[in-house]
Amino acid sequence: MSAEEKSLHFIEQIIEDSLASGFPQDKLRFRFPPEPNGYLHIGHAKSICLNFGLGLKYNAPVNLRFDDTNPAKEEQEYVDAIKEDLQWLGFNWAEERYASDYFQQLYDWAILMIKNGKAYVDSQSSEDMAAQKGTPTQPGVDGPYRNRSVEENLTLFEGMKNGDFQEGSHVLRAKIDMASTNMLMRDPLMYRVLHRHHHRTGNDWKIYPMYDYAHGESDYIEQISHSICTLEFVMHRELYNWFLDQIYPESSSGSNDKKVKPHQYEFARLNLNYTVMSKRKLLQLVQENIVNGWDDPRMPTISGLRRRGYTANSIRKFCDIIGVAKRENVIDVSLLEFCLREDLNKTAPRVMAVLDPVKVIITNYPEGKEELLDAENNQEDENAGFRKVPFSRELYIEREDFLEVAPAKFFRLSIGNEVRLKNAYIIKGESVVKDSEGNITEINVTYDTDSLSGSGSEASKRKVAGTLHWVSIQHAVEAEVRLYDRLFIDEAPDSHKEKNFLDFMNANSLQIVKGFVEPSLSTAKSGDKFQFQRLGYFNVDKDSTPSKLVFNKTVGLKDAWEEKGKKEENSINNALKEINKYFKVATREERIAIREAIGETLAGIANYSLLQNSFKKNINNNKTSLLFAQLILKYSSLKTSDFEKEDVSKLYLMSLRSESTFVRSRALLNLLDLEYDSDFVNSFKEEILKLKSNPTKSTTERETEFIEQVLNK
C-alpha cells in the first residue's frame, strides 16, 4: 500500500472502493446542506472542509443546498451569511440549491406513497402519537387512523396543503413498521401543517416536509453520490434508504443512464472544549444580548472568528489536522489557536502598541528632537521590509514593564537598571514622579546616546536584561482595544446535569481599554491584522473609522489558558499534598494555618470541571482524600448542590465512619453549614447517633460538641 493510500481517511477509502468497484468517477457528486436557521460555526467548518475537500480531490461538483423546510426558524439573513462564510473560507459551490426548490416534487411523491399504501394522514395529538409509538424496549402499536382509506388520506392531505386545517391538527406519516427496533422507523412524520411565511416560497405552501423525508429525496434529485453527515444520523440511515426505495426505479435501460441512488455515510462531528455548538444555545446568547450578535468575536461562529481576526487558512489547517474519524471526541480549542498563531506569525506585520500606558521622560534627550528609526515589519518574511517609527523625548511604555524596586528575575525597567527600547536605545531608570495617592505618573530615565540598535557601535552590542516596546507620545495614535477571551470558564459548559450553560459565562470575556499605537497604523483598514509586539495578535474591527481606530485582540502570543489550567491542576495537587501535614502537626494552630492555606487555594480555582473531578476522585476510604473532599465542599466556589447528591451522601457516610476525628469533625461542621434541606441532613442522624453512643479513642471534646450541635440542628 502506498503512503498516499495509507493517509486516506475512511470516507476517502469508501470513495476509492466505490471507484474500484466500477462506479463512474464523473458521477461523483457531493453537497453541503446547511439549514438556514442560524450562522455557521466552527463545527460546520469541518463538514465544509470535508465535502468541498472531496470535491477538489476528485474533481467532482459540490452543491450548496439549503435545507429550508422549517419556515418557523429560517431567514434570508442566515442564507446570506452562510454564503459569505463559505466564500471567505475559500470554497466555491457548483450549484446553489434549496430543498424548497423541490416542494412540488416532494408533494407529488407523497401523493404516490399514499396511493401505494405507504403513507397516511394521522389526526392524533402529538402526545397520543408519542404514547402510541412505544419505547426503545417496547414496540409501538397501530394508531386509530393508520388504516384510513387511500381516498380519505388523499382528501385530507389536499386539505392540509390548501390550508383548511389548523397547525397540529393533522400530519402525514410514512406507513412502515410500528414494531421496528429502530424507533425512527415507527411511522415517522413526513409533513406537518405550518401557516408560516417561507423566505423563498412566500405563502404558497401550508404544509412543509420533515427533514428525514426531504433530505434523502433532495439528494436523489441532485444525484448526490455520497451523502455525508454526522454520527447522530446513524440511526436515520435506515429511514433515509427506505424513503429512497419508494422513488428509486429498480430497472433502467442501460447502466450509463441509470440514476445514482445516494448512500449516506457518517463521520464524527467536531466537539470543541470551552465552547457550545448548539445553534439553539448560540441563538439564545444573541437574543438575550449576552453577546453582540452572531458575529461577536467571542462566538464560535465563522463570522465571529473572522471578525476576531482568524484567517481562513488557519481554520482549514485546523480541520485538516483533526482529520475525519468515526468516533466522537473533544478537541482542545488550544489547537485551533495554535493553527492561528502559526498562520499569523508568517503574515502579520509587527508593530508597537501600548495598552496600559505610563509616561517615560528621557531626561538627557534633547527637547524638540525627533528621529525616524528603522523597524523590521516581520522577521519571518524576508520580503516584508522595514518601516520608519518616530522616536522622541517622551514615550509610553506598559505600566507592568516598570517596578520601582525590582525583585530577582525581573527583566524589565527599574530604578538603577537598564533595558533596551525596541529598535531604539538602551535606557536606565533614574527616578519617578507620583500623584497624591502614590501612583506613578512619570518615570525619568537616561539613555545611552551610542546604543542605537543596528548602529554597529560597541554600545549597541551591549547585552541588557530585557527589551521593551514603546510609542512616542507626540506621535501616538489613540485606539480603542477590545480584549477578548473565551466566552466560558468551563471546558464543557453544556454538559453538567442541572446546570445551565449560562452559569459558566466568563465575566472577563471582553474588556475595553484605551491604548496608543504607532502612527503607521493610522491608515489601517477593517480586517487588517498585526502583531502588537509582546502583547499578541490584533486586527482592525469593522467598527473602526478614520477618526477612531478599533482593534480586537485575536489571540495571545502564548496559550494563557493552558498555563492557567496547569497552574490550577498543580494547585490542586499541591493542596492535596499539604493535607498530609494536617495529620502530622502537633498543635491546633498549625492545623488551622494549613486548612486556611488550602482553603485559599481552593477558593481561587474557577475551573468547575477540575473541582468536580477532584471532588469525585477523593471520595474513598483514605482519610487524606476524605478531608480534602470535605474542604472542597467548604471552601471552593461551588455550592454543595453543584455536586451529585449521591456523591455528597457517600462522602458524608464515609467521613462519619472514618477512623480520623479530624475527618469526622470536618464532616460534622460541614453538615451544620449545609444548604440541603433538613431531610438530607436527617439522613445521617443514625450514623451520628452511633458516634455519640460509641465514641472511639480518637474522639475529642470538640467532636462531641459538634455531634450535639448537628443533632440539635
Q: 536 labelled as ligand-binding?
A: no
Q: 35 labelled as ligand-binding?
A: yes
Whose CA is closest to 449, among 438, 439, 460?
460
Q: 219 labelled as ligand-binding?
A: no
Q: 37 labelled as ligand-binding?
A: yes
Cα radius of gyration (the chain): 33
Contacts of 639 (CB under 8 A, 6+ apart): 675
Per-residue CA distances from 453 to 96, 305, 365, 479 (Å)? 57, 37, 16, 28
Residue 9: strand, helix, or coil: coil
Pairing of strands 226-230, 207-209: unpaired
Per-residue CA distances from 11 to 51, 209, 233, 266, 309 (Å)? 10, 29, 16, 9, 32
Q: 608 labelled as ligand-binding?
A: no
Exposed / middle / buried, residue 37 (Cβ in 10 Å: 0-12, 13-18, 19+) = middle
Instruction: Copy the grid coordinates of residue 571.
Output: 494547585
State which amino acid sits at residue 507. Answer: A
Catalytic entry in 35, 84, 238, 394: 35
Q: 174 labelled as ligand-binding?
A: no
- d(Cα 554, Cα 482) in Å, to the nearest integer? 9
| 616 in active site | no
Catalytic entry in 200, 269, 399, 650: 269
Whose CA is closest to 444, among 424, 414, 480?
414
Q: 148 labelled as ligand-binding?
A: no
| Largest CA-CA distance found in the chain, in angstroms, rounded | 101
Q: 43 labelled as ligand-binding?
A: yes
Q: 180 labelled as ligand-binding?
A: no
Q: 270 labelled as ligand-binding?
A: yes
- d(Cα 4, Cα 488) in Å, to the nearest integer? 40
Cα 560 to its chain centre, rounded Å, is 16
Q: 352 labelled as ligand-binding?
A: no
| 380 in active site | no
Whose CA is closest to 295, among 527, 630, 625?
527
Q: 279 labelled as ligand-binding?
A: yes
Whose CA is closest to 393, among 278, 276, 473?
473
Q: 269 labelled as ligand-binding?
A: yes
Q: 183 labelled as ligand-binding?
A: no
Instruction: Copy the grid coordinates of residue 645.
Output: 447528591
Q: What angle do CA 480, 485, 490 make, to 5 degrees?
A: 160
Q: Are 519 and 475 in contact (CB under 8 A)?
A: yes
State which amino acid sits at residue 16. Answer: E
Residue 374: strand, helix, or coil: strand
Q: Are 358 and 396 in contact (CB under 8 A)?
A: yes
Q: 67 labelled as ligand-binding?
A: yes
Pairing of strands 263-267, 477-484: unpaired
Q: 626 labelled as ligand-binding?
A: no
Q: 699 labelled as ligand-binding?
A: no
| End-to-end Cα separation, the chain, in angstroms | 74
Pairing of strands 263-267, 226-230: parallel
How is residue 96 annotated by DSSP?
E
| 12 in active site | no
- d(Cα 154, Cα 180) in Å, to the nearest integer? 26
Catalytic entry in 148, 186, 237, 279: 279
Q: 300 labelled as ligand-binding?
A: no
Residues forming the annotated binding site for L-glutamine?
67, 211
Would you list which residues are annotated within the binding site for ATP?
35-37, 41-47, 230, 269-270, 277-279
**Residues with catalytic annotation?**
35, 269, 279
